[in-house]
Amino acid sequence: MTEKLSRAQPVEVSKNDGEPRFAHPSEKEFAQILDFYGLRWDYEPRSFPLRWDDDDKVLEMLTPDFYLPDLELYLELTTMKQSLVTHKNRKIRLMHELYPEISVRLLYRKDFHRLLAKFGFGPLIESGVEGIDRVLLTERQINQKVEELGKRISRDYAGKQPVLVGVQRGMVCFMADLMRKLPLPLMMDFMSISDYGGDEHTGVRITKDLDIDLTGQDVLLIEDIVDTGMTLNYLLGHLRAKGAASVEVCALLDKRARRIVDVPIKYVGFEVPDEFLVGYGLDHMEKYRNLPFVAVLRAEGG
């Protein structure tokens, strides 16, 4: 046994630069999911010899598909083919015996969201909130992003005194968190606009205008989400007419796929898919704003 263990040494797999040659499309998809959630990965970095003949020649090896350095975890993805699963399970068992200090997991497709969730990443399948389909951005991901945006904005506005303008009510969480990351002598103000839809008016109307005079000011408009871009387009026109020295936009979420009016957004937190989102200020019929994460609302009847 001791002799056997001494032979049990991982072997580095030599690599070319550039995009790895994934053996299967699902591996590439998995890599993209890891990228999306900011988890670093290596594709097939090492092989683990599992069986030798009497001359120490390696007869069988396992080369796990991924290594996640942040989690110190090897992952072997598997398809649903039962014959392969049994075979791989045997190899994983051998690897646990021969390399007890190394974490390796066999991952079924349905498992990986759950695994990501456990480490605080990815779509938590059960958010525990009624009406929510899945969590799109966790509290931790949002915090990280707000911190990053705060650094960029602080750098860009160094020596200035920007006026943060929030459009009620969706930006409430984002603006409150972001402004505390800006060590600048800033001011803030709010405005309200009418919702679109409804039959008594046709366009956007200002229902509460700003109190601060924007003449000569550096204005940073804080938005929760930009969808068609129509709201933002209207607001930019309104703000520019007030004689500000500069007007820029910071939006936490960008639903770019639905853009109709091409508005310039200088600071974007996340690009999000075309789904109805709630939480962290975003509402559905005024509810869900207080969720600390951004989630996808379950489709009606779903």
Q: Which of residues 240-259 bind ligand IMP (CB under 6 A)?
A: 255
Output 162 or 229, the one with its CB closest to ligand IMP: 229
Q: How far is CA 31 from CA 47, 76, 81, 217, 265, in A?
A: 19, 12, 21, 45, 28
Output 77 or 236, the one with its CB closest to ligand IMP: 236
Binding residue for ligand IMP (CB under 6 A) from 146, 282, 291, 294? 282
Binding residue for ligand IMP (CB under 6 A) from 123, 229, 269, 279? 229
Closest of 125, 126, 176 to residue 146, by C-alpha: 176
Q: Which strands form 277-278's sheet, in the order they lie side by side? A: 132-137, 294-297, 277-278
Point out the catalytic residue in the list 227, 262, 274, 283: 227
Output 114 or 169, the one with its CB closest to ligand IMP: 169
Output 150 or 166, the one with its CB closest to ligand IMP: 166
Output 98 or 221, the one with its CB closest to Mg ion: 221
- For residue 41, what are its two tokens? 């990965």
- Give the shortest CB-165-to-ligand IMP separation in angstroms: 13
The answer to whether residue 144 forms part of the interface with ligand IMP (CB under 6 A) is: no
- Give the shortest CB-223-to-Mg ion separation in angstroms: 6
The answer to whether residue 225 forms part of the interface with ligand IMP (CB under 6 A) is: yes
Binding residue for ligand IMP (CB under 6 A) from 123, 150, 170, 279? 170
How many residues bind ligand IMP, per CB under 6 A? 16
Is 156 one of the catalytic residues? no
The answer to whether residue 227 forms part of the interface with ligand IMP (CB under 6 A) is: yes
Which residues make up the interface to Mg ion (CB under 5 A)? 170
Residue 226 binds which one of ligand IMP, Mg ion, none, with CB within 5 to 8 A depending on kind?
ligand IMP
State the residues that interact with ligand IMP by CB under 6 A. Answer: 170, 223-232, 255, 276-278, 282
